Amino acid sequence: MSTAIRQFENIDTGLLKKYSRPGPRYTSYPTAPVFSSEFTDDDYLAEMQRTNAAEDAPPLSLYFHIPFCDTLCYFCGCNMMVTRDRKKINTYVQYVKKEMDLLRPHIRDDREVVQIAWGGGTPTYLNPDEIRDLAAHTQKLFPFAANIEAGVEIDPREMTRDHLVALKEGGFNRVSMGVQDFNPKVQKAVNRIQPEDMTREVLDWARDLGFESINLDLIYGLPFQTVESFEETLARIIDIDPDRIAVFNYAHVPWMKKHMSLIKAEDLPTPEEKLRITVRTLEMLNDAGYRYVGMDHFAKPDNELAVAQANRSLYRNFQGYTTHAGADIYGFGITSIGQFDRMYAQNLKTLPEYYEAMDAGRPATHVGYRLSDDDLLRRDVIMTLMCDFELDKRAIEKKYGIVFDEYFADAYPRLAELVEDGIVQLGDDRITTSEMGILVIRNVAMAFDAYLPEQLERQLFSKTV
């Protein structure tokens, strides 16, 4: 089926409202709530040894978590901490380097790095010398592929041009910037004052320095947003002309993130207004030529994400959508998550615990999970649906030696409502989705999630629309 963005001609807001239900974002399967402290440092080391002993060991993806921020954005759902103690920040950089030194001997020398991501927090809260220090240490320890995708989250509020020069010297070629909303009233309500001219200046620097791809993040559902006000922000974003745009749905969960209580619930747009913003966003970005990749993400047709989706090589992991499906992910820094073919491992969450582990010369594993054969199969099905919006049942049968309809008999009752509403079509050989199915693809994937019924009772997830 065609996945071109211009297929969204008739968006049924009634169906969007109906299927706006809690559900996972599927940056992994199984999802993080099943990770367990029974998975230990020894388990992580054993998986490193196993994967590095394989003749066909895949390439590497490295993720670095930089948790520090100058100020608190009230909408933030990230693992972060506010500090202005530069010594504290520099100490952390040295410990991340120490973690790389610890893990590097377990990783085969011939495995190239095809992807790097720095996330936060605010990676550009590091000063330029700290950026150079961490990047140079990474380049010294790991061989980089010639076509590496190296992306970093940047914040114009604390940046100089030298920050970007340092990142470019460190091998980075992609930047992602949070904008959220250009409206001053919205910015004040969420404690993120970021004037448009500041954003444009930093992006001009990035383009002048030759960064290959620029992504901008927006959030809808913030206080005082309306369809009309968000249209103005979208128009300015389209004029800036980034390669990618991510438009996230704000999940107001003050029982999970206490600082979100600083946002007054009565100032938030109604669910109906949020739906109207969703539809208008699709329309405007559609008209501007962006292709809907899925799960809040839009890309120009010639961007690698859109190209990968078209040729069925797109994948989804903890960094979101990626073109490197086969890479093993090694996570560095607190709360970072590693992923191998049969394993997830998340680092400790506090600085003292993390430093203690590094000083003891052991991995900083906090929780993790080993995937069963059933997990592998269901992950393949769910991620294929999330990325391709359809599924070849015969290909799955051939790959895993199953009879699809028998193995997934539990999923068909969960799909019944979606089929009745014309969102999903069940063929003999394929499962396909309609235009509306692409917009509620999380709901489709949820039918194949063996862990979901118990998890939904615990209020763990944001709404799917």
pLDDT reported for residue 20: 87
The answer to whether residue 100 scores a pLDDT higher than 80 is: yes
Residues 119 and 66 in one domain: yes
Residues 40 and 19 in one domain: no
Residues 174 and 191 in one domain: yes
- pTM comes to 0.94
H or E element, residue 33: none
The whole-number average pLDDT for the span 239-257 is 92
The answer to whether residue 337 scores a pLDDT higher than 70 is: yes
What confidence category does residue 1 fall into, taking pLDDT thresholds of 50, 70 and 90?
very low
Cα end-to-end distance, the chain, whole Å: 23
Name 266's Cβ contacts closer than 8 Å, sequence gap at least 6: none
Residues 43 and 24 in one domain: no
Q: Do the domain assignments include residue 367?
A: no
Residues 120 and 208 in one domain: yes
Structure token pair of residue 355:
């430093």
Q: Do the domain assignments include residue 208?
A: yes
Domain at 162, CATH number:
3.80.30.20
For the chain, the domain total comes to: 2
Residues 199 and 102 in one domain: yes
The answer to whether residue 387 scores a pLDDT higher than 90 is: yes
Structure token pair of residue 99:
């973690």
Residues 296 and 443 in one domain: no
Q: pLDDT over 70 for what percent of the chain?
A: 98
The answer to whether residue 31 scores a pLDDT higher than 80 is: yes
Residues 25 and 40 in one domain: no
The whole-number average pLDDT for the span 448-462 is 80
Query: What mean pLDDT value characterizes the chain?
Result: 93
Domain at 413, CATH number:
1.10.10.920
In single-letter form, the type of residue at position 280 comes to R
Closest by alpha carbon to 96, among 356, 327, 355? 355
Hey, CA dihedral for 97, 100, 104, 110, is it positive or negative? negative
Residues 74 and 94 in one domain: yes
| Whole-angstrom distance, CA of residue 234 vs CA of residue 236 | 5
The answer to whether residue 51 scores a pLDDT higher than 60 is: yes
Contact criterion met (CB below 8 Å) for 221 and 268: yes
Helices (H), 209-301: 227-240, 271-287
pLDDT reported for residue 177: 97
What's CA 43's distance to the chain center, in Å? Answer: 25
- What is the span of the domain harbouring residue 416? 1-29+372-452
